[in-house]
Amino acid sequence: MSHRYPESAVFYRTLDRELPLIVRGQGVWLYDEHGKDYLDACGGAYVANLGHGVGTVAEAVAEQIKKVAYVNGTAFTNEPVEALASELRTLSPRELDFAYFLSSGSEAVEAALKLARQHHVEAGRPNKHKIIARTPGYHGNTLLALSASAREHYKKMYGPWLVPVHLIGAPYPYRCDPGDPAMTGEALERAILEEGPDTVAAFIAEPIGGSSTGGSVPPAGYWQRIREICDRHDVLLVCDEVLTGAGRTGTWAAVEHFGVTPDIMTMGKGLSGGYVPLSAVLTSERVIAPIARGSRAFKHAQTFSHTPAICAAGLAAVRHIKAHGLVERARAMGEVLHAKLATLVDHPAGWSVGDVRGKGLLAGVELVADRATKAPFPRSAMIAERLTAAAQAEGLVLWSNVGHADGTNGDLVMVAPPFIITESEIDELVARLGRALAAIA
């Protein structure tokens, strides 16, 4: 049976190719209907952090569904939501003591930005409504989250529906000078002053770059400067940890590497390890206080927020991460991964590998036409897409990103395997990636 449009009844994300049908997953491996194995080197989309086939999470969800699957979060609370919020309180940056649960990263970003706005309105600052975000950067595909994202190929079509968001440069050490305002944080101060501090509600950014800058790590001092600027102008700092949170970079939240605490933090993807769709907005008493004193309700509600079944999966996943020391493992195996990926530079087919970077089990491999000048390939060469397709043929699942070099050109692939990956599986990952590079050379 064909798994392509229009033979299948599925409206696929891509309408131009046949998709393999995956029937089973175990550990870092996926298996298709013909028995071919795929090393899931990006946990799907940075989601399967625990690995595939963890029985305890599946059993916890099944048990909860048998007890009670759904209650409306306005009228009732439930055991898993209480327990999950308490667990997160022990893990998250200090002061982020309260958790609001949703189903996707985009929903968490929408809710986080709305929360920032409502905080200011109820604190008597109704003029504060503007959002500042970064380019390159990505926060989701619903309309407010997309407005705050710098993905032209997603935004172009929906431009008339998007709200204006002031985009400043993201720190991108491979392509920015150390003194660049994007690298020092100065770009944020300039943007706030340009917009008028009494009109700016929030600054949203990924603590360590996700796909958009290929795992770029900001320079020392960047996040402290950002925190100071936000404090000075009463702008809420929203750290989007949808991709980096839940241990991916070797600490529970990536922002912990930099010793600052945001006002609001989003999580998603790995929070449930992919066993159900689950995301969260974490925030502090200080942010909630004006709302608790004022209208006494967050003006945002969704049918599946705080529901028992999704929170049971999150609770089981978070307890599994803790019990198996998976955050520490992401840190240790991250070092192995980065050392082995660095060998691609000297691989016979590695002439196009310009940079390998990241933190913990988050790595970006940037491909360039000329290593000396860092000139990107022309977009028409479709290097990232071709490499991802060649890797899939080799049984290796990567995530690609394009356009980061200058808005149009730029090719990179992301490697972010489940935290349980072993050293020999990392060897296999790098070997398959080398063969894929050779196939497109």
Ligand X SMILES: Cc1ncc(COP(=O)(O)O)c(C=O)c1O
User: Which residues contact ligand X by CB under 6 A?
Assistant: 45, 104-106, 109, 138-140, 206, 210, 240, 242-243, 268
Smallest gap from residue 396 Cβ to ligand X (A): 20
- Nearest to ligand X of 45, 83 (CB atom): 45
Closest CA to 93 of 261, 271, 328, 282: 261
Smallest gap from residue 257 Cβ to ligand X (A): 16
Q: Which residue's CB atom is positioned nearest to ligand X? A: 105
Residue listed under structure tokens 């995530």? 399
Smallest gap from residue 155 Cβ to ligand X (A): 14
- Nearest to ligand X of 41, 109 (CB atom): 109
Number of neighbouring beta carbons within 10 Å of residue 335: 12
Smallest gap from residue 209 Cβ to ligand X (A): 9
Q: Do residues 133 and 150 make contact, with C-beta atoms less than 8 angstroms apart?
A: yes
Smallest gap from residue 352 Cβ to ligand X (A): 25
Q: Do residues 213 and 151 make contact, with C-beta atoms less than 8 angstroms apart?
A: no
- Nearest to ligand X of 254, 353 (CB atom): 254
- Nearest to ligand X of 30, 280 (CB atom): 280
- Nearest to ligand X of 8, 142 (CB atom): 142
- Nearest to ligand X of 254, 421 (CB atom): 254
Q: Which helix (H) or strand (E) element contains residue 264?
A: strand 264-267
Smallest gap from residue 47 Cβ to ligand X (A): 8
Residues 6+ apart with CB under 8 A from 403: 136, 151, 152, 153, 379, 409, 410
Smallest gap from residue 26 Cβ to ligand X (A): 24
N-terminal to C-terminal alpha carbon distance within the chain: 33
What are residue 31's phi and psi, to 5 degrees?
-130, 135
Distance CA 405, CA 283 (A): 34
127 SS3 class: coil
Residues in the chain, overall count: 441
- Nearest to ligand X of 399, 419 (CB atom): 399
Structure tokens at 13: 């994300």
Q: Do residues 168 and 105 make contact, with C-beta atoms less than 8 angstroms apart?
A: no
Q: Do residues 347 and 353 make contact, with C-beta atoms less than 8 angstroms apart?
A: yes
Smallest gap from residue 360 Cβ to ligand X (A): 15
- Nearest to ligand X of 242, 391 (CB atom): 242
Angle between helices 423-440 and 326-342 (to 10 degrees): 40
